[in-house]
Amino acid sequence: MRWLRLALCSAVVLAAIGAAAGWAGTRPGSLAWGGGTRHGAGAEHWCDPRRLDGALADIRSMLALKPAQYPAWDGFAAAVSEAAPRICAVGRSTSGGGLVELERAELALENGLVALRAVRPAFLTLHETLGEEQRRVLDTLFARRRG
């Protein structure tokens, strides 16, 4: 369950690329990338604010933050939480058809890029405050894996 919540959070953080590539699923040990499921198939999971909050809490715990790092973490968590509704607004296509899918893909890319641009500065600020081992943990969580 812990890995699922972590995966859900990372899906939001990397949603611009994930939405573009059509990847929403993840596998244990890889938070950032999935195994080729269409965007939207797992979106109901990471669009649930309770699951997102749980994933953020798990990541925070894994990082073992020090009090001086809390403000950077709070900024990152807020940016992720604010970006989630934009990504979740795309939803799943129910009517199908080429034009509908193209329009949906364009909206997913636009929303994803806006969300990514909102989260990236907070992620960089957090990353800069972390020690070497904490960075390794965070980088491992968000590493892209093929498989």
From CA 121, how far away is CA 48, in angstroms rounded? 24
Domain ranges of the chain: 2-141
CA angle 39, 32, 130 (to 5 degrees): 145
Q: Is the overall model pTM greater than 0.75, yes or no? A: no
CB 27 within 8 A of CB 35: yes
Q: Read off the pLDDT of residues 89-127 as tens digits, 9 standing for 90 and up.
A: 776 656 677 888 888 888 888 988 999 999 999 999 999
Report the range of poorest mean pLDDT among 6-10, 75-79, 93-97, 119-123. Answer: 6-10
